[in-house]
Amino acid sequence: MDPPRTLAAYLARLRGPRVSAEGVLVSNESDAPRILGVGIACLDFVFVADRAQSGGQSPAHDHVVEGGGLVATALVTAARLGARAEIVTWLGDDRAGREVLDGLRGEEVDVTRAHIIAGARTPVSFIHVEPGTGERTIYHRRGVGLPADGEVDFADAPPACDVVLVDGVWPRASRAVAAVARRERVPVVGDFCPDEAREDLAKMVDALIVPRPCAQKLWPARSWEQRLRALTDLRPAFAAITAGEQGCYYVDGAEIRHCPAFAVDVVDTTGAGDVFHGAFAFALANRWPAARSVEFASAAAALSCRELGGRKGIPTLEETLGFLRARGTEDWAS
């Protein structure tokens, strides 16, 4: 089933709007959006320090240890915003894995389908944050002893959710869940670079959102418009490139649009892209139009940069809407 070429046309084929374009999430928990994520959860060691010369040293100004990972942080974002979130992932039975699970449970993310592998080591990241700019450099160690790809136990049953989010770390599992989601007309959001290894997965998502380094790597000499057209050639209903301080460029149908970045006092940009995906999935679950969804996700991502680490600064729905009412271009009146 080929998706329509605009997000609005795609949403028109789904269930009716959960809330109006001017409304907010209803208070009844049973009506909260349900978001299922398939992908990585890891433990982040984040520290702020000036760059040291090779072989030298530099004092660390601050540090934090917390859960991270593309899909995991996106689901924490969705939960903070008021969604019911569930993760499919693979972890080791080590201390890092226990800390990751405790962090997700503390955010009320359902970890029933988190697969714990005996004797394996959980993925970890060491993240250097530059003081003043908040720019981060990530040193990532993949999981040791985890499956190269994952099997899912509900590939033949509809996922009990309103949106599926995949990051492509376990492509086979992501494809299996995406196939069922598309059959059941549940939108799929992709957070991965559609390189040759994941191009088939890219053709199964309805909203493909990639970071600037991915777009520059795949199409180094092309313009923003040409890069977006290359993404839409893969047939998603919506495509976007997040570009940090340059904001977000996106295409929805024939029109190329740009959402400027919101100015905040940046402490750490770790996880901002993950927060964008989680907030966009939340907006998509509520059937908001593209411009509104992008601005909402951009605001949540900007607010998350106010604190050290990828999760402490993730805003609530009320904080995000209050910020948008003061600074947004869409109508965010309650």
Q: Where are the domains of the chain?
A: 33-49+60-327
Whether 131 has a pLDDT exceeding 70, the answer reads yes
The string of DSSP letters for 159-225 reads -SSSEEEE-SSSHHHHHHHHHHHHHTT--EEE-S---GGGHHHHTT-SEEEEEHHHHHHHSTT--HH
Report whether 242 contacts 273 (CB < 8 A). Answer: yes
The 3-state secondary structure of 141-162 reads ECCECCCCCCCCCCCCCCCCCC
Whole-number pLDDT of residue 22: 40
CATH number of this structure's domain 33-49+60-327: 3.40.1190.20
Question: 272-285 vs 290-304: helix axis angle to the nearest 10?
Answer: 140
- Per-residue pLDDT band for 158 (boundaries 50, 70, 90) equals low
- Per-residue pLDDT band for 1 (boundaries 50, 70, 90) equals very low
What's the whole-number average pLDDT of the chain?
89
Give the separation between CA 66 and CA 331, rounded to whole angstroms. 35
Span 292-311, average pLDDT: 97
State how far Cα 169 lies from the chain centre.
13
Whether 207 has a pLDDT exceeding 90, the answer reads yes
Whether 24 has a pLDDT exceeding 70, the answer reads no
pTM of the model: 0.91
- Which tens digit of pLDDT belongs to each residue from 92-129? 999 999 999 999 999 999 999 999 999 999 999 999 99
Amino acid occupying residue 178: A
Give the separation between CA 305 and CA 136, rounded to whole angstroms. 11
Whether 132 has a pLDDT exceeding 50, the answer reads yes
Whether 155 has a pLDDT exceeding 60, the answer reads no
Whole-number pLDDT of residue 27: 34
Whether 210 has a pLDDT exceeding 90, the answer reads yes
Whether 42 has a pLDDT exceeding 90, the answer reads yes
